[in-house]
Structure 1
């Protein structure tokens, strides 16, 4: 994962702090996320869909510099990390989204999928229970996807090497 040049990040951060007012850390509804951040998130999603993980990562990181309250950018960064088999990083990104909104269905599902890949199936099942509770009697796609991931299990099971090493 490549980071943006520090000068760009610092310049954007200073400009945004000057224009955003004193209470920039107050919770915001999704409709109040900075439009530039939303547009960059869409670009990141498109890059992810095309398999360009670096472009996705760059767009999403910039989206979060512009508006650190953009949950969808965190969730999409988690999806990028998952595609790169960086499951711990995916969980960290979803934790950030869930800190902003504990009932974010997408974040819970993506986090659960990453947990399955790490072998933490019991924790993924807890996420599934929460998703189902939030969805209520209506089946939601996040619950269906997470249930399928749990049923399938990790893509690569832990392998034990029984052959002794020779020097």
Structure 2
């Protein structure tokens, strides 16, 4: 009697897990509407309309959250807009979908360098090199960014106010 309830619970768990996995689409079958929005977003980006591109790419990700390329495109636009923190988050979204995406690892590494997190960028570089097995442009670009280092922030200096001379 004691084992019957445990066995029934385990059986129900196995049935529900296998049913939910069977009903999902494979990762390589991204929704066609999402892919169309991705292409429109790329076209808007190429035309120089960054805000329109972001809107289309966000729609593509909303239609199908497995559209990794939409996250990468949004991250690249964010990085060009001077928002490396947002770019890092978007690259992380892409890496949650595919941890071995060389493009996302490299892009996130470059954004990390801009934020000053060079040690984490070096970890990404090691992953990229391990995945490439030979020389690849993403590893070379990331290594160059790391060697260059984070951008130097220049503090705005206000000129000293002149003090009137005493007679």
For the criterion TM > 0.5, the same-fold answer is yes
Higher relative contact order (CA 8 A, sep 6+): 1
Aligned 8 A contact 1:113 1:149 in 2: yes
Pair 1:108 & 2:110 matched: no
**Alpha carbon RMSD of aligned pairs, Å?**
2.4
Q: Provide closer, same or farther for how the CA distance between residues 165 and 107 of structure 1 changes in structure 2, counting only shifts above 3 A.
A: farther
Cross-structure match for 1:89: 86
TM-score normalised by L of structure 2? 0.75
Aligned 8 A contact 1:28 1:69 in 2: no
Cα offsets for 1:3-22 (capped at 9, x unmatched): xxxxxxxxxxxxxxxxxxx7
Kindly name which structure, 1 or 2, has the bigger radius of gyration based on alpha carbons: 2
Distance 1:114 1:25 in 2: 37
Distance 1:43 1:101 in 2: 23
Q: SS in structure 1 opposite 2:154?
A: coil
Q: SS in structure 2 opposite 1:54?
A: helix
Distance 2:155 2:40 in 1: 41
Cα offsets for 1:7-65 (capped at 9, x unmatched): xxxxxxxxxxxxxxx76995732x30112211211222222233211111011011011
Cross-structure match for 2:131: 134
Q: How does 1:13-24 map to 2 (within 5 A)?
A: none
Distance 2:68 2:23 in 1: 14
Q: CA deviation at 1:159?
A: 2.6
Unaligned runs of 5+ in 2: 1-19, 162-167
Distance 2:71 2:97 in 1: 10
Distance 2:108 2:55 in 1: 21
Cα offsets for 1:75-132 (capped at 9, x unmatched): 1110111011111000010111111111111110110111111111111111011000
Unaligned runs of 5+ in 1: 1-21
Cross-structure match for 1:99: 96
Q: How does 1:141-152 map to 2 (within 5 A)?
A: 141-152=137-148
